[in-house]
Structures are given as structure tokens and as C-alpha cells.
Copies of this chain bind each other. A is one copy, B any other.
Amino acid sequence: MERTVFFLDQKEMPTSWYNILPDLPEALPPYISPATGKLVTPQELGRIFPMELIKQEMSQERYIEIPEEIQAIYRTWRPSGLHRAFQLEKALKTPARIFYKYEGSSPAGSHKPNTAIPQAYYNMKEGVTRIATETGAGQWGSALSYSCSMFGIECKVYMVKVSYNQKPYRRILMETWGATCVPSPSTDTKAGRDALAKDPQSGGSLGLAISEAVEDAVTHENTHYSLGSVLNHVLLHQTIIGLESQKQMEMAGYYPDIVIGCVGGGSNFGGIAMPFLKDKISGKHKNIRCIAVEPMACPTLTKGHYEFDYGDVAGMAPICKMYTLGHNFMPAPVHAGGLRYHGMSPLVSLLYKLKLIEAKAVFQRPTFEAGVLFARTEGILPAPESNHAIRVAIDEALACKATGEAKTILFNLSGHGHFDLASYEEYHSGRLPDYEYPDEKVKEALKTLPKVSL
């Protein structure tokens, strides 16, 4: 009897995260303060983040221990299953072996709680009683709401108003976990009120919601801000995905030739890929290919430039060196809301610049085509973001079919699509559009990069 899912016993759950910083062949460029244009200080970051996370952000320790209190909550759904996609392979008639790590079994339905739990925990440990954050489609907001409820922390979520109105289920989910969720622009902050004064009908943007959450954090007592992707400590926490996958691939008896994840800010891809990249950098498995998949509508790695840019539209977040389309860029309304980010994690950016990873941009419709085939063979209904990874996994498996090679492909199924069914209906009805981000617009957007003096 063959296994389809490789479950690790909870006693085998990794007890440390993997920090790639000391293994990088080239140092990561520093963060710049948007206020001073100079190196950001830990004190500046300390206004909005707990010291432990700031330490992790810059740590040169290869392994960072996961506190037992965090492990206890991780054990609600971790170790997550690693699946062999037997039925997808059969449907594709490919000699390739396709595996996927399924992160949709977390209470919030995605990989986001892997970092939301430690972020809430370290804030709680430092006496923070309230956290403010922003959310677009609601994946991050619901993960943080869940995590705050686990540690008795108040949670305030500024949700981009168009999503707030379109996705009431995500909002109710956050409220069920006890969070307060308001549409952004809101009247609760100066940034929100200013935006509403300019345009009372404003549907909001992720950039504006970040500004509101940061303002909320610095103007309230005992309140911090929390970010769901991009930063080093976020990717660090997500490495539990890759570390578990390595143990499970060993159970399965294969080492992957290709590792695939979708990228918005870069955390689910970084989380699965970095432990394997350690083997690539060390020369132990130097031929492994790691592929980051992004939407054609937001081709940060494939069309962006590697420059210093703001992390947010309002220019309040730290400036970092990353692949960027310019912080003023306005992405087309693809359903993969989690991939609509102008920049890219500095870590993933450096890995790409060093050619340690590859990148592919894909159109929206083919990603849904892949997701529907996946649902009809493997059963699980994927999130629109995850469909990007599935698309490229299928493409690689079809390439194997053409050459007859039996490669081992592993991809990260970052979340389920239970809250995204309206997008599937659009696909079924034939109304789902493809979007591309035109080269001229990229050029235009890149003119807005900030001045940095190092």
C-alpha cells in the first residue's frame, strides 16, 4: 500500500527555524530610514516591532530556536502534510513525480499563521497588548486575528475597502476570532481621514492601509504594527515549511529536482525554498532549481529593477534594496490579491540577483485552468495565489512528458480557495480576464524611486 500523504509525527516537527543570512554568498544590503535617508536604527524599528523580531531580522545565527509556546500552537495543524499528487500525474500522463506541501490546513487556511503566531507571541512577551495591521484580500488579517486570539492580544485590522465590501466572509472570520476590522480608508486615523476628504468614495489601497496601521501603532499605547511578508523575520518563520518538507521528502525517498512557490512579498516561496537553497549553496545538491512564480500583472522579478525603494506607497515603511516595479505602481485587479505587491522580499531579491533562483510570470487564466484541473484530480480547491505555483508545476511535468524524464517536482500549495469562489465562478463563465503590466508603465513607475545616501 503506497502512501499519498506523508505525515510527520508531531515529535519530529522542527524545533528551530532556518536563517539563510549567514549562508548567503553576498551580504544583504541594509535597510534605510524613510525619515533620514540613512541606515535605519533598531530604535526606529522598535517603535513598531518587538526587539526579538528586530534581532531575528539581522541575526547571523543559522538556526533560531522556536519557543515551546509557539510550537504548542503550531501543533494545532503542524507538521502539515506533504502529498504525492498521484492523480494529477495520471491525468497529465507524465513520468514526473509531483509532490506538494499543503499549508491550507492551518486554521486561517494559508501559510500565514506560521509567522503570525510568532509575531503575536513575541509582542505578548514584551508586554504589547494590541497589534494593528493592514490586509488586502484578508489572508494576512485573518491569520493575525487568529494568532492574537491565541495570546490574548487585541487586534485591529485595516482592510482595503474594496475587499472589505467584496469579501465579507473574511471579515466575519476575523471578527469571530475577536478582531476589530474596519474598511480603509477609515475615520480612525489621520491618513484615513485625509484620504476620505480628498475622495469620499475611495476604495482604498494596500499602501494606504499600511499607512493607517502604522499610524495606529505609533499613536496608541502598548500597540505595535505587524507585517505578513517581505521582511527577513517573516521568511525565517516560514522556513518551517521547507524544513518539514525535507524530512517528508526523505520519507518519500526522493530529493526534489525542482521546488516551486508563488511570490507576492516572497514569504511562502522563501519558506519552502530556503532550506533547499542551503543544500544548493553548500554544493550538496547544486543542481536543484527553485522557481518563483508571479503574475504577469505584477512581474516584480521578471520586469522590475533591483533598486532601493519604499516598502509602501506612502513612503513610511523602511526603504530596502529589492526588485521593484516602483512603489506607486497600481496592479491590475487579479484575484491573487496576495501577489499584488510592487516589491519583493530583499532576501528573495538577492537570491534572484545571484541567480540562485529562477522566476516565471504567468497569466491569470492559465493559473485557474491549472487550479481547476488540480481540484478535479487531487480534490483540494486551491487559492488563486497557489494556482500560480500549480501552473508552473504542471508546465514542468509536461516538459518531462515531452523529454521522458522522471523529475521530482515539489511545490508549495500555500492555501485553500474556500473564500475565493467568486473568482472560480468568473473563470467558469469565461469572463476571467488576463492582464499584463506594460513595459512603458514599468519604466514610468521606476522613475519614482527614493533617493538614498549610504
**Chain A positions near chain B (C-beta within 8 angstroms):** 1-5, 7-11, 68, 71-73, 75-77, 83, 86-87, 105, 107, 109, 146, 149-150, 168-169, 172-173, 175-178, 372, 375-376, 378-381, 418-419, 421-422, 424-425, 428
Contact present for B421 and A172 (CB under 8 Å): yes
Partner of A428, one of B9, B150, B176: B176
Contact present for A76 and B5 (CB under 8 Å): yes
Partner of A5, one of B1, B10, B149, B375: B10
Chain B residues within an 8 Å CB radius of A172: 421-422, 424-425, 428
Q: Sample 19 A-B pairs with CB under 8 A, ordered by A number.
A: A1-B11, A1-B68, A1-B71, A2-B72, A3-B10, A3-B75, A7-B8, A7-B9, A7-B10, A76-B379, A146-B379, A150-B379, A169-B418, A169-B421, A169-B422, A172-B421, A172-B428, A175-B428, A176-B424
Chain B residues within an 8 Å CB radius of A424: 172, 175-176
The chain B residue with its CB closest to the CB of A85 is B76
Query: How many copies altogether?
Result: 2
Q: In the complex, A83 Cα to B422 Cα: how many Å?
A: 32
The chain B residue with its CB closest to the CB of A107 is B379
Partner of A425, one of B168, B425, B428: B168
Chain B residues within an 8 Å CB radius of A177: 375-376
Chain B residues within an 8 Å CB radius of A149: 375-376, 379
Partner of A76, one of B4, B77, B381: B4
Main secondary structure of the interface of A (DSSP, over half): helix
Q: In the complex, A109 Cα to B381 Cα: how many Å?
A: 10
Partner of A105, one of B75, B105, B176: B105
Chain B residues within an 8 Å CB radius of A105: 105
Q: In the complex, A176 Cα to B8 Cα: how many Å?
A: 31
Contact present for B178 and A376 (CB under 8 Å): yes
Contact present for B72 and A150 (CB under 8 Å): no
Nearest 7 CB-CB pairs, A to B?
A107-B379, A4-B75, A418-B418, A172-B421, A169-B421, A7-B7, A3-B10
Chain B residues within an 8 Å CB radius of A422: 168-169, 172
Contact present for A176 and B378 (CB under 8 Å): no
The chain B residue with its CB closest to the CB of A11 is B1
Q: How far is the CB of A205 from chain B (nearest CB, A)?
A: 25
Chain B residues within an 8 Å CB radius of A11: 1, 3
Chain B residues within an 8 Å CB radius of A178: 376
Chain B residues within an 8 Å CB radius of A419: 418
The chain B residue with its CB closest to the CB of A73 is B379
Contact present for A4 and B72 (CB under 8 Å): yes
Supplied contacts A3-B11, A72-B86, 15 more A-B pairs, CB within 8 Å: A4-B72, A5-B75, A7-B7, A87-B150, A105-B105, A107-B375, A107-B378, A107-B380, A109-B418, A149-B379, A169-B421, A172-B424, A172-B428, A176-B421, A418-B419
Chain B residues within an 8 Å CB radius of A379: 73, 76-77, 107, 146, 149-150
Best-surrounded residue of A4, A150, A424 (most CB of chain B within 10 A): A4
Q: In the complex, A176 Cα to B176 Cα: how many Å?
A: 28
A76-B378 in contact given A3-B10, A418-B418 (Cβ < 8 Å): yes
Q: In the complex, A237 Cα to B77 Cα: how many Å?
A: 25
Q: In the complex, A436 Cα to B176 Cα: how many Å?
A: 26
Q: How far is the CB of A16 from chain B (nearest CB, A)?
A: 13
Q: In the complex, A75 Cα to B4 Cα: how many Å?
A: 6
Q: In the complex, A419 Cα to B421 Cα: how many Å?
A: 10
Chain B residues within an 8 Å CB radius of A380: 76, 107
Q: In the complex, A439 Cα to B10 Cα: how many Å?
A: 50
Chain B residues within an 8 Å CB radius of A4: 10, 72, 75-76
